[in-house]
Amino acid sequence: MTSPYLTAPENLDALLDGEPPYRARQLRDWLYRTPVLGVDQMTNLPGSLRDRIGDDLWPFVAEVEQSADSGTTRKWLFRAPDGAAIEAVLMGYPRRTTLCISSQVGCAMRCTFCATGQFGFERHLEAGEIVAQVMYANASLSRFPIPESPGRVTNVVYMGMGEPLANYDRVRESLRRLIEVAGMSARSITVSTVGVVPGIRRLADEPWPVYLAVSLHAADDETRSRLVPLNDRYPLEQVIEAAEAYFTAKGRRLSIEWVLIEGANDSDAQARKLAAIARRMHAHINVIALNPTPLSDDRPPTQDRVVRFVALLNEEGANATLRQMRGQEIDAACGQLRVRKAAG
């Protein structure tokens, strides 16, 4: 059979012809409530049903699992049957466990500083492929916990490969399944966008108060269009207005993401303009120093410059912090996720 994650949770009975109706409920719990790595652990299902699901439980295989940061960061490369590679990164902290998930294979946005964009777009992920990343991480955590971190994923960020709002319907369905089927709180989920304005406006109309992060990276159109090609289609002012509308609709503080690149967007003038935008958007600013990527000569600024940029934002009345780096030695850090094509 195909992976049950590729069927809507409400339609699982269609996969189980011949089984009594309560089996669909039991299977749904194994998929979304207490996920396990293999069918052999689905103890209340009959062997015949477990055999039918067999190796097709997951819509991908975990081809590589790596860990870093003394075991508190875990990265998976999942391979779908069509060869598509999906990456997800799990980060354990004392009171939360955050999973960074992918929404597309590759990315069409081509932001100059991001490895995913440099390698182009392959395809959208299905809702089930998005949700299965979270459930796989939960299954992994229940089998191999990260010491001193919660034993399940408490927070999900759509900050892996892809632009979630360019895959709107499937991402929406993945949010519905995470919140309404798996029981996650909308307030523990962050959707990050490079500024797909119609997507921000649609998300504002959805019933769930998920966090919105906007990847700004520049505070004027000329600078932004150099780093983020999508800015030509949706210029800064439109992005800011859509973000303000999101804030009004949800009453949730927004985040602005800002990758600091030496000589490109690290000036005092950019910091002052950014602080003004952040105040307008009711946004917290997450600054991150650039992680170098294979196809670009861009470099992060010096540590002094990074610290000065963040301090200036705060002096200007904005709320800014420097983002902690995780997983750099396994290419799991922000902007380093990319598709490695299968050999041969």
Q: Which residue is nearest to ligand SAH (CB)?
A: 335
Q: Say whether residue 259 binds ligand SAH (CB under 6 A).
A: yes
Nearer to ligand SAH, 27 or 337 (CB): 337
φ, ψ for residue 334, nearest 5 deg: -55, 135
Distance CA 117, CA 163 (A): 10
Encode 11-78 in three state secondary structure. HHHHHHCCCCCHHHHHHHHHHHCCCCCCHHHCCCCCHHHHHHHHHHCCCCEEEEEEEEHHHCEEEEEE
Residues 160-199 that bind ligand SAH (CB under 6 A): 163, 192-194
CA 59, CA 78: separation in Å to the nearest integer?
9
Does residue number 290 form part of the binding site for ligand SAH (CB under 6 A)?
yes
Q: How far is the CB of 284 from ligand SAH (least distance, A)?
A: 13
Rounded to 10 degrees, the C-alpha dihedral 226/102/303/295 comes to -50
Binding-site string for ligand SAH from residue 128 to residue 167, where x marks contact by CB under 6 A and - marks none: -------------------------------x---x----
- Does position 203 interact with ligand SAH (CB under 6 A)? The reply is no
CB-based contact 156:178 (threshold 8 Å): yes
Instruction: Compute the least distance from the CB of residue 190 to ligand SAH, in Å.
Output: 10
Q: How far is the CB of 113 from ligand SAH (least distance, A)?
A: 5
Closest CA to 263 of 232, 294, 297: 297
Residue at token pair 């999906």: 86
Q: Scan residues 322-341 and list those touching ligand SAH (CB under 6 A).
A: 334-335
257 binds ligand SAH per the rule CB under 6 A: yes
Active site residues: 87, 334
Task: Give the interface segment with ligand SAH, choosing from 174-182, 197-205, 234-242, 286-294 (CB under 6 A).
Answer: 286-294
Residue from 156, 283, 288, 313 touching ligand SAH (CB under 6 A): that is: 288
Amino acid code (one letter) for 71? G
What is the binding site for ligand SAH (CB under 6 A)? 113-114, 159, 163, 192-194, 215, 257, 259, 288, 290-291, 293, 334-335
